[in-house]
Structure 1
Amino acid sequence: MMRFDPFREIEELTQRMDRAFGQGNGTARLAPPVDVHEDEQGLELTLDLPGVQPESIQIEAENQTLTVQAERKYSRIEGRTAHRVERAYGTLARTFSVPAKYDLTKVEADFDHGTLTIRVPRSEAAQKRAVSVRTGGQLSAPKTVDAGQADAPRAEAGQQA
């Protein structure tokens, strides 16, 4: 026995109208889910793109902006009636603002089983490096400084005053 769903007919009507007016035939613009992680090496973005062919994926990096776009097409077969079309079809797109401490010229991407993984490394200028500090004209032991945390020393200096 099926449970009564008062919204089922409305959903079906909406889907039919979307298909009739072009929303279900590849013109819909969808935002795929994404996970963004950061570590010492850089950023890692993981997007779900199920049913997408690798050759339809476009990744553009420009002016601290990373754009991912892919196409998932709905294939209509003549003589076959669709009773339900619930999966999303159309253009899958996401745009990300990437901080300047990451190097968009060295972006790497892997696509495996419908999952796109993009790695954006830290720029050379943002890498940790040892800096020698002079005291009384003599060099002391190098101190490691993280260029990405340039605001931290200023905050500590303000607390001491």
Structure 2
Amino acid sequence: MMRFDPFREIEELTQRMDRAFGQSGGTVRLAPPVDVHEDERGLELTLDLPGVSPDAIHIEAENNTLTVQAERKYARQDGRTAHRVERAYGTLARTFSVPAKYDLTKVEADFDHGTLSIRVPRSEAAQKRAVTVRSGGQLTAPRTVDAQGDTTTGTPQQA
């Protein structure tokens, strides 16, 4: 007796569609999983690219768009029959819209053990700064104003 698998029909349909559109052998265009984190320094994007060599990774930054592409090739060997090919092969690609407050001219990337880490720093114009306030023509200590309109001198207030 065979166990019921609700996803078997979907998997079979996907395989038929891949064959019909020339995507045989597990070669497809995939979007690799990504984590996106932000802190005061900028954005960090971390993508999983297992089985990809560093020279097969291409990163482009243009017009507030960051594009990552990588190629994982299937190595076919003569005289060898593949009974099952479940791992994904082909082009892995992701495109990200990056707000103008980040500087795409200073993107840095590291690749280690199948994980690509991309750092996009905040632009100089978007950096947080303390502003010196003049009072009666005299300079005073830098002050910032919070959202409620309270003025602080840069030291934390106690509740």
For the aligned pair, the TM-score class normalised by the smaller chain equals 0.7 to 0.9
Residue in 1 that maps onto 2:28: 28
Taking structure 2 as the reference length, what is the TM-score of the superposition?
0.80
Please state how far the C-alpha of 1:75 moved relative to its aligned partner. 1.3
Separation of aligned partners in 1, 2:62 and 2:45: 16
SS in 2 for 1:111: strand
Separation of aligned partners in 1, 2:38 and 2:83: 43
Residue identity opposite 1:78 in structure 2: D
Is it true that 1:72 corresponds to 2:61 in the alignment? Answer: no
Q: How does 1:130-141 map to 2 (within 5 A)?
A: 130-141=130-141
Question: Percent identity between the aligned chains?
Answer: 86
Please state how far the C-alpha of 1:52 moved relative to its aligned partner. 0.7
Please state how far the C-alpha of 1:44 moved relative to its aligned partner. 0.3
More displaced 10-residue stretch of structure 1: 105-114 or 127-136: 127-136
| Structure 1 portions without partners, runs of 5+ | 146-151
Q: Give 1 or 2: higher helix fraction.
A: 1
**Residues 96 and 17 of structure 1, relative CA distance in 2, 3 Å threshold:** closer
**Residues 13 and 140 of structure 1, relative CA distance in 2, 3 Å threshold:** closer
Residue in 1 that maps onto 2:11: 11
Residue in 1 that maps onto 2:154: none
Residue in 2 that maps onto 1:61: 61
Residue identity opposite 2:118 in structure 1: I
Residue identity opposite 2:33 in structure 1: P
Q: Is the 8 A contact 1:33 1:47 kept in 2?
A: yes
**Residues 10 and 99 of structure 1, relative CA distance in 2, 3 Å threshold:** closer
Residue identity opposite 2:102 in structure 1: Y
Separation of aligned partners in 1, 2:72 and 2:44: 23
